[in-house]
Structure 1
Amino acid sequence: MATPEPIDPIQRFAALLRQEWAKLDARHQSGLDTEDLLDILWLAHQIQPETQSTEQLQKTDGSVTLQRSHDLVSPPSSSPPQKQEPKAAVYPPPPEPQSGPQSGLGAGLPLQVPAANALRSRLDLARALRPLMQKIPSSTQRSLNEEATAVQIAEQGVLSPVLEPAPERWFDLAIVVEDSPSLTLWEDTIAELQVLVEQQGAFRQIRTWRLRGEQGGKLELFLNWQSTPTSARARHADALLDPTGRRIIWIVSDCTSDLWDASPIYMWLERLGKHVPLAIVQLFPERLWARTALGIGQPMCLHAAMPGATQAVLSAGALPLYPEREEEEEEAGGRRQEAGGRRQKSVILPVISLEPEPLSRWANVTTGVGDASVAGLKIALDELMPQSGISAQPNSLTPEHLTPEQRVQQFCATASIMAQKLAGLMAAVPVSLPVVHLIQKTLLPQSRQVHVAEVFMSGLLDQVPLPSDPPQPPTHYRFPETVREKLIDAVPISKTTQVIDTVSGYISERLGLGSKSFAALMADYSRLELHQQQAIQPFAEIALSTLRRLGGDYRAKADRLAAYLHPSPPESTTQSFPPLQEHCYQVATVEVEPLQRFDFETATIERQPDPKSRKSRQKQNQQASEWVITKAPGYGWQRIEDLGDGISLELVEVLGGRFQMGSPQDEPDRFTGREDPQHQVALSDFFMGKSPVTQAQWRAVATLPQRNQDLDPDPSRFKGENRPVENVSWHDAIEFCARLSVQTGRQYGLPTEAEWEYACRAGTTTPFCFGETITTELANYDGDYVYNKGPKGVKRGKTTPIASFPANAFGLYDMHGNVWEWCADPWHNSYAEKPEAFKQDGNSPWRSENENDNRSLRGGSWLNSPRLCRSAFRYVTHPDGRDDDHGLGFRVVCRAAGTFK
């Protein structure tokens, strides 16, 4: 294999230069011309190499970290370093080994979880700061005016340089982070904010500070917000004052601590605001401000009369929605002045959230752009306490006098939908911030740090301090049992079990056990080493409690799994036995191959109103709408059978449960009779083929020794190794399963109708597993037909390769369309025809007196309308039928699920 020629560094640099120069030129914000660029390149060439190729300058005062590289352009290395994702531990690191027993709670599991971005719309936030990139003449630095110098020499003969003030950035920035009990919730957000402003280049210098309130109202500052106050020297709170007025101060906080309930913090901000521009950067979005300490303030609209205006000279007026509040405040102030001889003292502060629009408004006000305005709050100081009592506990957004039931009710009434979903998933497992990040990454990728804060500040959680010396802040949390049960009850069972298996998979991977489901992890518990058991135990206790809460089969399953965690001691007896005799025997051990995790993409389709068309159809009382497909990641557990020659059969674990079999009376285009009556069916765990059997898989099994009949190795009309096999009869499918069972030593068969519909629905009750309708973006059917006013699609006229479309929530592909799938059951015109149709065991097929009775088919095919592809639709044909036109295929199941675990 020929080795590619290395890229010329000069060519690489030239391409990069053209790309970046085009960006700067398009923005008209660079302030650079060709001459400036030549100066930069000349200076880079003049820098002499040091003993090291790269020098990092870390300022000890918390300012920006600078890095200088001596190689302007370097050729790519033969093995570039791989990008490492930031990691965090689900449990705190275990303490140093000590003599004596250790608590299971104290033993930690170093589970690494990739951290997600805490800031949304980072590019838009950077653009919002562009007005601050202006330059002004420096009062200390001078630069040579070459043109003026040349003119002076030519006209006056004076050999003296003409110097002028050098341009420099207008403002410095001081980021002051409040040292509050809730700071751990926002550390990622604040760190990303710091990186954002440093990379933006809008400020001369950036320093960070940590603000701490002490008893008695004293405020202290510590350089570098990430340093611990115990290791840094405290500075006076007025150290931020800048007589030139060129320092912007951001007070970054969620305003939920006791510090904001007293007047000293506001008086300090008022004092700073007389000299420099400042703003409170509220970490909560505006919709939650009223539930923080800022809720006592009166909303105001602030304007600047000049560029760089300090807070003290901002003009304020009531917001248009609150003019009456301004009048009431003036009247109340007048009455107090008449009664007490003085007017109420107040302070007005700009408040911004970390969103592009409010940040842009504040930047425009600070730089004096036009008639820009920014939101602010007027705080009445006389209504505050003179001193703050600093608490080590974060204040709740929910009143403390409420019962657990009332707390849950208020949380559901006031929290965002995403925060409610997150709380429900968190209730299933032990709670720590890294565990929450794991849930966000795998199950709620749309959630953000603000949703985490909503849950942690809701008052629903109790802190669990870990034993340590000296005492450390708690890193574990738990829901009170009543709260936890109510949150679990509001979450679909499939989501709850998915959370448990997600955390279990990561735990087992970090312990070197491979990715295991919770059931598999518990089965291995007794064989684990002591430190592994101690790491798993806190998680297992909560998970088992969660499964018991789900009730039914899950309670029984939890009781079985609990036996692994707490085995019953042997019963003692005082009965005397005769002398023991020696007996020789042989022991056989079975190595169970663990299940493998797999990832997939699923989808849902929902109707959304079209506001543009609503007005035009009001006369007809119609509302136009469009169907929107939303895709989301998912994962499942599978077992892979090796069929030889690189061909494998993937089987997905389907956890048992109960569901309503058949279609409801109001389902559009249902077939009355054959889908009636709806009834509840219970199923045990089983494994099902991830997709219909492919032509490659069929051919591999067809070459195995015959059991009852011959098999055509190539029966399909539409050829392709990865296309589903078609034109096979029910007897052909039974022969396939028989040969596969002998080859693997496991019992394979066709799914029952109950198993097929349960797996197809995957926890849904809609006509399709994707929603109320279906499109040809989600399945292969005749797109000339529509269902339930859905969109018209593509008519492909043939089968498609398996897994060409999104999977359902269980990770199964092609459950709708492509090929009909044989089921094990004999045909009956309705579920009412046979009493066994209402049996609780959905894993057993209906009884048949004759193997030549007509058999059931499910799923529809590429040739059918979507009506025939619904989850509940049943079709019938003779077991010897192959039907070249429609294409009859199948997928296999294995009900001996325990052999795989």
Structure 2
Amino acid sequence: MTWAITARSTLQDGLYRLFKRYGIFRNVQTWGMVTNKQGQIRLRPGIKHNSNSRFYSPQKLIDPTGRRLILVVSDCVSDIWRNGKAFSLLESWGKQNIVAIVQILPERLWLRTALSLGAMVQLDCLQPKVPNRNLFVREVWLGSDNNLQTGIKIPIFSLEPELIETWSEMVVGKGTIGAGGFVFSSSLIQEQKQIVKNTETEKLTSQERVYHFEMSSSEIAKKLAKLLSAAPVINLPIVRLIQKNFLSESQQVHVAEVFLGNILKPQSLITPDTNSDEVQYQFIDEEIRDILLKDSPRKNSQEIITVISQDFANRLGKSLQEFLALLKKPDELEKLKTEKNVADLDIKYFATVTTKVLKRLGGAYARFAEEIEKSQDEIPGNTATSKDVNLDNLESFEFTAKVATIVKLKTILLVEDEQNVIQEVSENLSSQYGITVRGTDSINEVIELAELGEIDLILINHLLPNSRYQNRQVDGLEIVSILKGNSKISPSLPIVGFSLDNVADEFIENGADSFYSKRELLDSKDYQKFVDYLQEIFNRALENTSSKLGKNYGIAIGINQYNHLPSLRYAVRDAEVIKNYLEQRNFSKVDLLVDETSVKVKEFLADKFEQPFLSTEDNLWFFFSGHRCNCSSLLYGQISYYSRTVESDRLSNRLEGKFRFRPRTLSF
């Protein structure tokens, strides 16, 4: 288990510092346990791997005087434990020394490790400081009691105060109840050869694996496994990402439950030198993923795809939309992956799992999945499509409409006068789909929330007897007209009529985007159909918005040198950084001017705008770094601030967080 390697190293280092600090022992050493090519256990000094380290025989740790304590920090899940070699080594150490296992997993997971090969017992001794071979079995808690007194007796504890205290009291002869541990058969190695052989021939079905996992795992671990079923990539960083965003109450022990649950396997060999964050996992059988995915909330599946895609997009220096678009252009994505050294992105596998998850969501998600699938089928020997892969040939943000479906509907404003309806809709959408529903019948509150841009979609009832606007009563149809006529509210905000009455045509005539029968929802309770419908309306609004986006251009000016002002150090650098940043964001063109005179800048701008090149949908990003000046006087022509698009806002937010300056969006 690679996830435990980091924990083991950290724990071992902590114990080392603890023993050194308190001076309990005259000499404190740390050793790593590894295997050579012949499968023999060898020791090397220290915790971390050093290419110059010498390897030693395990017998080096034996102290004939019996004055040595050997603590083995492990999760007991690797091959040397399962084939019995590690237990045989501990037996040889325990003939003359005190030996114990510090188990980094909690006790409820011990029987999922190689410890299950032995009997769980209570150990004790008749005198203090005796080696393990002189311990005796006081009580058998679990397992066979045959030949226990002659077996390999090993105290085992996790770092819980009461367990440590019980064990230490037994060691010094002051305890009255002994200490917990396991006893293993002396003929364990021979037995394990047969067990391993039998295991290879006896294969559980996927259904059986999932059943055994769910029967023996905590609720949080089961939730984590279902979340991972939607992940196109499974490694420890991705697991932590999912924990942070979707299961914050989960802890390392729940990760251990999943990884020890016999449903996942590493894609490569794991050694003590392996960086645990770099190990990739997959389900033992893809059918296991399918089974778990069926029980996983659809909303989580879509969000996980988005979060993981965003993570890879950041590492590749791309936006989320660009990354998703590149999934349909795998040759270009493979090239970018190599350039950015993103080794854990298996493009083919990522695309396969992503399409599986998106198809399950249906609708526009499924259509986008089919596009990805088709592009993957065209990879082998297909040079005809490679010329279309170059992003320079794409219009800025042209792919946004294609992938807008990946944005999840999160907040709905329900304009309704019946509190029981608000409560029912809110509870169902929140608990099942993670959608926040805010309810009100106040037109003023509706306008305020819509102007703030805090709402993804508005549902409006027809009859609202308590709703008043400008000293008169208004119904849902009038509210639609009021909202659509408000210039401060985004025209792309979708509005859906929601009424017991059959007034769909009336809502559409007043400007609503669609209509959904409240009677049908309350009678059928089919909230899945309801959410799918609203998501489609939301997707359509995003697609309509993104299709109106024009091209993006940039001008970056940086001036360090001045005739009558002190020189600057970073202005030119900042301008160069912004130029590179915008070019990476697929801007159609970015001009750079550095250390130019004001005359040169004016001449450039005059020449630039002599023939207008911006359409009404295009955006110009202007950046100036230097001593404060009236930028309007630098520019040729009248300048007015432009109402930023959604994408421009996002880019603005990124830049404000990353650099010292604030970008401005201007139109001419």
- TM-score, normalising length: structure 1: 0.43
CA contact (8 A) 1:748 1:895 kept: no
Q: What's the CA shift string for 1:348-386, capped at 9, x where partnerless?
A: 110113444423422333344442531112222135418
1:281 match: 102
Tell me: CA distance 1:736–1:506, structure 2 relative to 1, closer, same or farther (3 Å).
Answer: farther
Tell me: CA distance 1:432–1:266, structure 2 relative to 1, closer, same or farther (3 Å).
Answer: closer
1:359 counterpart = 2:164: yes
1:220 match: 42
2:355 match: 544
Task: State which of 223, 226, 236 in structure 1 corresponds to 2:57.
Answer: 236
In 2, Cα distance between equivalents of 1:281 and 1:547: 44
Task: State which of 313, 330, 339 in structure 2 corresponds to 1:508.
Answer: 313
1:845 match: 515
CA contact (8 A) 1:249 1:277 kept: yes
Tell me: CA distance 1:461–1:693, structure 2 relative to 1, closer, same or farther (3 Å).
Answer: farther
Tell me: CA distance 1:454–1:693, structure 2 relative to 1, closer, same or farther (3 Å).
Answer: farther
1:271 counterpart = 2:89: no
CA contact (8 A) 1:593 1:900 kept: no
Task: State which of 180, 200, 208 in structure 2 corresponds to 1:375.
Answer: 180
1:424 counterpart = 2:170: no
1:186 counterpart = 2:8: no
CA contact (8 A) 1:254 1:283 kept: yes
- Aligned AA (1:448): Q
Tell me: CA distance 1:551–1:727, structure 2 relative to 1, closer, same or farther (3 Å).
Answer: same
Tell me: CA distance 1:743–1:287, structure 2 relative to 1, closer, same or farther (3 Å).
Answer: closer
1:461 counterpart = 2:461: no
In 2, Cα distance between equivalents of 1:738 and 1:371: 80
Aligned to 1:234, the other structure's residue is in SS state: coil
In 2, Cα distance between equivalents of 1:380 and 1:726: 88
Aligned to 2:485, the other structure's residue is in SS state: helix
CA contact (8 A) 1:259 1:388 kept: no
Tell me: CA distance 1:696–1:297, structure 2 relative to 1, closer, same or farther (3 Å).
Answer: closer
Aligned to 1:896, the other structure's residue is in SS state: helix
CA contact (8 A) 1:749 1:893 kept: yes
Q: What's the CA shift string for 1:41-96, capped at 9, x where partnerless?
A: xxxxxxxxxxxxxxxxxxxxxxxxxxxxxxxxxxxxxxxxxxxxxxxxxxxxxxxx
In 1, Cα distance between equivalents of 2:328 and 2:48: 43
Offset at 1:235?
A: 0.9
Q: Percent identity?
A: 26
Task: State which of 301, 304, 307 in structure 2 corresponds to 1:499.
Answer: 304
In 2, Cα distance between equivalents of 1:737 and 1:450: 51
Tell me: CA distance 1:565–1:369, structure 2 relative to 1, closer, same or farther (3 Å).
Answer: same
1:303 match: 124
CA contact (8 A) 1:737 1:750 kept: no
Offset at 1:279?
A: 0.6
Tell me: CA distance 1:564–1:493, structure 2 relative to 1, closer, same or farther (3 Å).
Answer: same
After TM superposition, what 4+ stretches of structure 1 lie above 6 angstroms from structure 2? 386-391, 395-399, 471-474, 523-529, 564-572, 592-595, 686-697, 699-702, 724-728, 833-837
- Aligned AA (1:898): E
Offset at 1:526?
A: 9.6
In 2, Cα distance between equivalents of 1:374 and 1:726: 80
CA contact (8 A) 1:738 1:748 kept: no
2:151 match: 346
In 1, Cα distance between equivalents of 2:364 and 2:396: 27
Offset at 1:749?
A: 5.5
In 1, Cα distance between equivalents of 2:275 and 2:448: 61
The within-5 A match list for 1:400-439 is: 400-428=202-230, 429-439=232-242
In 2, Cα distance between equivalents of 1:687 and 1:527: 38
- Aligned AA (1:374): A
CA contact (8 A) 2:31 2:45 kept: yes
CA contact (8 A) 1:263 1:387 kept: yes
Bigger RCO (CA 8 Å, 6+ sep): 1
CA contact (8 A) 1:253 1:283 kept: yes
CA contact (8 A) 2:494 2:513 kept: no
Tell me: CA distance 1:744–1:445, structure 2 relative to 1, closer, same or farther (3 Å).
Answer: closer
- Aligned AA (2:55): A
Offset at 1:899?
A: 3.9
2:244 match: 441
Task: State which of 477, 481, 492 in structure 1 corresponds to 2:281.
Answer: 477
In 2, Cα distance between equivalents of 1:523 and 1:237: 54
1:751 match: 496
CA contact (8 A) 2:84 2:192 kept: yes
CA contact (8 A) 2:152 2:186 kept: yes
- Aligned AA (1:513): K
Offset at 1:209?
A: 1.2
Tell me: CA distance 1:234–1:533, structure 2 relative to 1, closer, same or farther (3 Å).
Answer: closer
Q: Which protein is bigger by CA-based radius of gyration?
A: 1
1:197 counterpart = 2:15: yes
In 1, Cα distance between equivalents of 2:237 and 2:407: 23
Tell me: CA distance 1:675–1:696, structure 2 relative to 1, closer, same or farther (3 Å).
Answer: closer
2:541 match: 896
CA contact (8 A) 2:484 2:491 kept: no
The within-5 A match list for 1:28-39 is: none
1:251 match: 72
1:487 match: 292
Task: State which of 370, 376, 379 in structure 2 corresponds to 1:559.
Answer: 370
Aligned to 2:299, the other structure's residue is in SS state: helix
1:11 match: none
Offset at 1:317?
A: 0.7
CA contact (8 A) 1:256 1:396 kept: no
The within-5 A match list for 1:108-123 is: none
Tell me: CA distance 1:430–1:389, structure 2 relative to 1, closer, same or farther (3 Å).
Answer: farther
Q: How many residues align?
A: 470
In 1, Cα distance between equivalents of 2:132 and 2:11: 22
Offset at 1:238?
A: 1.7
1:738 match: 484
Aligned to 1:375, the other structure's residue is in SS state: strand
CA contact (8 A) 1:292 1:397 kept: no
In 2, Cα distance between equivalents of 1:313 and 1:213: 29
Tell me: CA distance 1:354–1:257, structure 2 relative to 1, closer, same or farther (3 Å).
Answer: same
In 2, Cα distance between equivalents of 1:356 and 1:397: 37
In 1, Cα distance between equivalents of 2:219 and 2:132: 36
Q: What's the CA shift string for 1:637-671, capped at 9, x where partnerless?
A: 69xxxxxxxxxxxxx6579xxxxxx9xxxxxx979
Offset at 1:186?
A: 0.9
Tell me: CA distance 1:527–1:748, structure 2 relative to 1, closer, same or farther (3 Å).
Answer: farther
Aligned to 1:498, the other structure's residue is in SS state: helix
The within-5 A match list for 1:328-339 is: 329=146
Offset at 1:541?
A: 3.3
Task: State which of 110, 113, 137 in structure 2 corresponds to 1:292.
Answer: 113
In 1, Cα distance between equivalents of 2:82 and 2:445: 72
- TM-score, normalising length: structure 2: 0.56
CA contact (8 A) 2:451 2:490 kept: no
CA contact (8 A) 1:303 1:373 kept: yes
In 2, Cα distance between equivalents of 1:546 and 1:450: 27
Q: What's the CA shift string for 1:163-205, capped at 9, x where partnerless?
A: xxxxxxxxxxxxxxxxxxx3x2212211321343245334445
Offset at 1:303?
A: 2.9
Q: What's the CA shift string for 1:658-704, capped at 9, x where partnerless?
A: xxxx9xxxxxx979xx999xx99xxxxx99999998769749979xx
In 1, Cα distance between equivalents of 2:447 and 2:354: 38
Offset at 1:588?
A: 12
Offset at 1:300?
A: 1.9
- Aligned AA (1:234): F
CA contact (8 A) 2:309 2:324 kept: no
Offset at 1:401?
A: 1.7
Identify the structure with the greater helix proportion. Answer: 2
Q: What's the CA shift string for 1:489-523, capped at 9, x where partnerless?
A: 12111111121111011112222334559867758
